Amino acid sequence: MESTVDVRVWRGAAQGRFVRYEVPRRPSQTVLDVVTYVQRHLEPTLAYRFACRVGMCGSCAMTVNGVPRWTCRTHVAKAVRRGRLEIAPLAHLPVVRDLVTDMTAFFDKWARARGQFQGATSRAAPVARIAPETPQRRAVDAGIECIGCAVCYAACDVVRWRHDFLGPAALNRAWTLVNDVRDVAQAARLDAVAGDAGCHACHTQGACTERCPKGIAPTAGIAGLKRLTARAAVERS
Amino acid sequence: MTMTRATQAKLWYAQRLSAMVLAGCVIVHLGVIVYATRSGLSAGALLARTRGNVAFAVFYGVFVLACAVHAPLGLRAVAHEWLHWRGGAADAVWATFALALVATGMRAVYAVTAS
């Protein structure tokens, strides 16, 4: 193991540059450890975001050597290339400062995809009983662990090409609700996720599925949405 | 005029269905090409076989229609994503392109199959 790692960190906003820092190598060191070292010892004004440090909150995602990752769960040993780490903010989102992005558009798209549960009963009603082995519940299970880190969104080429594309996370959320038998807003949701800015723009390249730190396959959910929305559009006409 | 999301979904469906048709058509078409070029038949001999051949006309008619559906929709997506060219004017161009494909393709089918 080298005694130091050559780190280049993005400084600025949309306009900015990479600044080089020399950070001591430590055993089991994560990329988040590196960023924290830079801020605490070398560059106190460095802006970055983190909270839990254990892969639960999804706030520390950054672009590490060109790949969107949770920095807290990425060991330096895994990401380093020729002794170098290039750390940039997540792609496809406006940069507020340094490594911090504005995630407003990302979460607004969840709302646009009707990512809110809409039930027909009040909280006084008894808890619905959903058999865990039904196909719908299994589909929900496959996608429900998303924590909204936007790694898939940053990995998606279609998001880069089509700025209004809802993106893998919002469509995955919609897919879990489409399979929620308690939800009563299905027709409106299928309409919201259809078309050129919705699931039909996906090229099934699978970058989201490849990069998702939770092992979710948004590509599979999007394929399901394509089938259901196209069928609904044909049946309505 | 903005296209509704339901219409966009239908266009996606049309492109997927036309792709399935094209997959079969291309395989048969490749077979026809290999047969026609390796059999040593003259142009006249080939035309003698295609003229009045209803099956040939129907097959290539379907092939032309599938192309006319599939290609403009693909170009529409490419133009949107790579050139950010979209909207009513763009869609009018792709619709015209689809009609041009139908016209030129059907003219070719007619030329080799009309007896």
In this structure, chain A runs to a length of 237
pLDDT band at residue B90 using 50, 70 and 90 as cut-offs: very high
Asked whether this complex has an ipTM greater than 0.90, the answer is no
> Which residues in chain B touch residue A201, judged by CB atoms under 8 angstroms apart?
77
Same fold? A4-101, A104-236: no
Q: Which residues of B touch A229 (CB under 8 A)?
A: 9
Q: What is the pTM of this model?
A: 0.91
Q: What is the pLDDT of residue A139?
A: 97
Candidates A161, A192, A194; nearest CB to B82? A161
Min distance A7 CA to chain B CA atoms (Å):
33
How far is it, in rounded angstroms, from Cα B109 to Cα B74?
A: 23
Interface of A with B in 186-225 (CB under 8 A): 191-192, 194-198, 200-201
C-alpha distance from A226 to closest chain B C-alpha (Å):
8
Share of residues in chain B with pLDDT > 90 (%): 86
Per domain, the residue ranges of chain A are 4-101, 104-236
What CATH class does A104-236 carry? mainly alpha
Out of A162, A226, A232, name the one closest to residue B80 (CB). A162
CA distance A200 to chain B (A): 6
Q: Compare B37 and A49 and report the one with higher pLDDT.
A: A49
User: Which site among A156, A159, A189, A196 would you substitute to test the B interface, given the most B Cβ atoms closer than 10 Å to its Cβ?
Assistant: A196
Q: Does B78 touch chain A (CB under 8 A)?
A: no
> Helices (DSSP H) in A63-217: which residue ranges?
76-79, 104-112, 135-143, 151-155, 157-161, 168-178, 186-192, 207-211
Q: What tokens does A208 get? A: 């989201």
Contact B6 A158 (CB under 8 A): no
pLDDT digits (tens, 9 = 90+) for A49-61: 999 999 999 999 9
Residues of chain A with pLDDT under 50: none
pLDDT at A59: 97
The pLDDT, as a whole number, for residue B94 is 97
Tell me the shortest Cα–Cα distance from B4 to chain A, in angstroms.
8
Average pLDDT on B69-84 reads 96
In terms of DSSP bridges, do strands A61-64 and A100-101 run parallel, antiparallel, or are they unpaired? Answer: unpaired
Q: Is B2 on the interface with A (CB under 8 A)?
A: no
State the pLDDT at residue B115: 80
Query: CA-CA-CA-CA torsion for A114, A119, A124, A130, nearest 10 degrees?
Result: -110
Alpha helix (H) ranges present in A9-167?
A: 31-37, 76-79, 104-112, 135-143, 151-155, 157-161
Residue A173 contacts B, CB cutoff 8 Å:
no
**Yes or no, beta carbons of A237 and B6 under 8 Å apart:** yes
Contact with chain A for residue B13, Cβ under 8 A: yes
Closest CA to A2 of A20, A29, A40: A29
**For residue A188, which residues of chain B lie inside 8 Å, CB to CB?**
none
Tell if the CB–CB gap between A233 and B82 is shorter than 8 Å.
no
Cα–Cα distance, A182 to A125 (Å, whole number): 12
Q: With an 8 Å Cβ cutoff, are B12 and A198 in contact?
A: no
Partners of residue B6 in chain A, C-beta under 8 Å: 191, 194-195, 232-233, 236-237
pLDDT of residue A232: 82
- Output the pLDDT for position B3: 84
State residue A44's pLDDT score.
97
Closest CA to A173 of A164, A183, A160, A161: A183
pLDDT of residue A190: 94
pLDDT for A231 = 78
Give me the residue from B9, B16, B77 closest to A194, CB to CB.
B9
Q: What's the pLDDT at B64?
A: 98
pLDDT score of A234: 75
For the segment(s) A4-101, the CATH number from 2.20.25.90, 3.40.50.1370, 1.20.58.220, 3.10.20.30 is 3.10.20.30
pLDDT value for B110: 97
CATH number of B5-113: 1.20.1300
